[in-house]
Amino acid sequence: MAKNKDTDSGQGAVSLGWWISGGLLVVLVVAVVVGVIIWPRDTAPEPGATAPAPSQDATATPTQRTPVSGAPCETANPDQSFPTEAPETTWATHPYEILMPVSEKYGPSNRDGNLWSCFERSPTGAVFAGPNLLTAISMGEADAAIPGPGRDEAMALYEEADDDFERPVVEGFRILAADENSATIDYWMTGQGQTASYGLDLVWDDDAGDWKLNFETPGEHPRVALLEDTAPYVRWR
């Protein structure tokens, strides 16, 4: 059984799709992963503001397709504990033009094309898998999620979404439940003056030997909410 932490976030839910608030039409459609949130287009950046710089050097460009060496998807006796601090991470630029977390130990070991894959079978491996897989499925990579009507619905939504928006930044994470077979993880995201969380369900796919998104559980996928309290999250950047 998965180990669980408190899942009561105390946050108001934000529905996927168009959200009307205070007379302003705000887009909060998720275009990836992970995962990528389309931030409100009517929120002007502060004067003199610049895009956040990556905390570590990016190791790939949007045009590169670079397989990297690293741990296989399954490693011998991986640590099943929850990380209480940010794991050692390199931030690499995905072809979708968003910085993704990568690790030689936790994955993705395969960074060829749009579907970055091959993650360690552990809670930390699942943490790395979440935003990477959500980014992939936003680019039409169906293999990023297990088959089912939830995946079909998500892909249809992503196909309709406009990708002309500021890419958000993955700031942190908190594991709500995880073991070697499944994981439920919230990610802390920032972009264009907004802070939000999005929750993902993942499952270990024995046939693929890798983590996959699971859109077949009840509720919306991802679970998007405006975020005020970041204290429960492990700061990643």
Please report, rounded to a whole number, the percentage of residues in the chain having pLDDT higher than 70. Answer: 67
- Which one, of 97, 95, 227, lies nearest residue 165 by Cα? 97
Residue 78 confidence (pLDDT) above 60 = yes
State yes or no: pLDDT of 206 exceeds 60: yes
pLDDT value of position 57: 41
Res 11: pLDDT: 38
pLDDT band at 71 (very low <50, low <70, confident <90, very high): very low
4 or 229, which is more confident? 229
pLDDT at 159: 79
Is pLDDT above 70 for 202?
A: yes
Mean pLDDT of 1-18: 36
Q: What is the pLDDT of residue 104?
A: 93
Radius of gyration of the chain (CA): 17
Residue 200, pLDDT above cutoff 50? yes
Share of the chain above pLDDT 90, in %: 51
Is it the case that residue 194 has pLDDT exceeding 60?
yes
Quick one: pLDDT at residue 163? 65
| Helices 123-138, 149-160: crossing angle, 10 deg rounding | 50
pLDDT of residue 77: 83
Computed over every residue of the chain, the mean pLDDT equals 75
- Give burial (CB, 10 Å; 0-12/13-18/19+) of 53: exposed
What is the predicted pLDDT for the residue at 149?
95
Question: Can you tell me the mean pLDDT for 139-155?
Answer: 94
Query: Which pLDDT tens digit goes with each residue over 32-49?
Result: 333 333 333 333 334 444
Question: pLDDT tens across 98-123, in order?
Answer: 999 999 999 999 998 999 999 999 99
Q: Write out the chain in H/E/C secondary structure.
A: CCEECCCCCCCCEECCCEEEECCEEEECCECCCCCCECCCCCCCCCCCCCCCCCCCCCCCCCCCCCCCCCCCCCCCCCCCCCCCCCCCCEEEECCCCCEEEEECCCECCECCCCCCECCCCCHHHHHHHHHHHHHHHHCCCHHHECCCHHHHHHHHHHHHCCCCCCCCEEEEEEEEEECCCEEEEEEEEEECCEEEEEEEEEEEECCCCEEEECCCCCCCCCEEEECCCCCCCEECC
The pLDDT assigned to 164 comes to 65
Q: pLDDT band at residue 189, thresholds of 50, 70 and 90?
A: very high
> Per residue in 211-236, pLDDT tens?
999 999 998 888 989 999 999 999 99
Alpha carbon separation from 196 to 36, 53, 140, 193 (Å, rounded)? 11, 19, 24, 10
Greater confidence (136 vs 167) lies with 136
